[in-house]
Amino acid sequence: MCCFLKISGIGKENPFRLRPLINIEIPINSTFEYTIQFSNPYNYSLNINEIYTSDENLIIELLSNKNLKNRLTKIFSYHEQWYLKPYQTKSIIKINYFAYKLNQLHGFICMKTNFSEKIILPVEINVLNRSGLYSNVDLLEFSTERYISSVIKPIKVPVYVFNYGLDPVMITVSNIHKISIKINLFE
């Protein structure tokens, strides 16, 4: 016998500029990777003391540092990776999920700061067994001003599109000033 409970809750704005990882679709036998960027909204420094996931198949990967000399240096490097100066934004971890079976992952990533803040980031990944186009980027994130700009160098966002269908696909980029992608299916 199953019972249903009525549950209510209150959400609040996310000051750390973290977006929920929901409605993600990936094909079976593929890997979803996402680098989590964390923003410190405060005028004082912030440490992330703990990060864990609710699912053993949702893997947390520490960001690699190619200049690590020994184990002690590695420990200090990761401590600095989770230390944020006032108003700083930086990548803190990468998460991986290997889609080895058809299912839907409903989980979360939990982060705790040195100020006893608990941040819960929901994760929903749908593993599908159908042909089609899949991308490593499900959303291009722009600044709050709705544009990306750089005076120093051009900004590049690598987007990989995988065709899990039987029909070949041609992807073209048109109109240099406005980004648009045109997808043509070959007949």
d(CA 16, CA 9): 20
Q: Select from 114, 130, 146 the last residue of a domain.
A: 130
- Together in a domain, 62 and 94: yes
List the single range of 32-36, 101-105, 183-187 with lowest mean pLDDT. Answer: 183-187
Residue that finishes a domain, picked among 85, 115, 130: 130
pLDDT at residue 44 tops 90 = yes
- Statement to judge: residues 153 and 118 lie in one domain: no
Task: Indicate if the pLDDT at residue 56 is higher than 50.
Answer: yes
Categorize the per-residue pLDDT at 142 as very low, low, confident or very high, splitting at 50, 70 and 90: low
Higher pLDDT, 156 or 119: 119
- pLDDT at position 132, please? 72
How confident is the model at residue 187, as a pLDDT? 38
Closest among 145, 106, 99 to 124, alpha carbons compared? 106
CA–CA dist 86, 88 (Å, integer): 5
Domain boundary residue, one of 130, 154, 176: 130
Same domain, 24 and 108: yes
As beta bridge partners, residue 26 has: 127
Of 10 and 99, the one with more pLDDT: 99
- Residue 157 to residue 184: CA distance in whole angstroms: 22
Total of domains in the chain? 2
Provide the 8-state DSSP code for 15. T
Residues 114, 37, single domain; the answer is yes
Most confident of 3-12, 18-27, 164-173: 18-27
Q: Are 106 and 140 in contact (CB under 8 A)?
A: no
What was the pLDDT predicted at 3?
Answer: 66
78 lies in the same domain as 57: yes
Residue 160 structure tokens? 């990989």
Is residue 171 one of the residues assigned to a domain?
Answer: yes
Sign of CA dihedral 155, 86, 80, 82: negative
Whether 185 has a pLDDT exceeding 50, the answer reads: no
Residue type, 78: Y
Give the residue numbers spanning the domain of 172.
Answer: 131-187
- Give pLDDT tens digits for 144-163: 555 555 556 666 666 677 77
Q: For residue 1, is pLDDT > 70?
A: no
Tell me the CATH number at 17.
2.60.40.10
Compute the distance between CA of residue 154 and CA of residue 157 in angstroms, rounded to an integer. Answer: 10
* Residues with Cβ within 8 Å of residue 158, at least 6 apart in sequence: 136, 137
pTM given for the model: 0.67
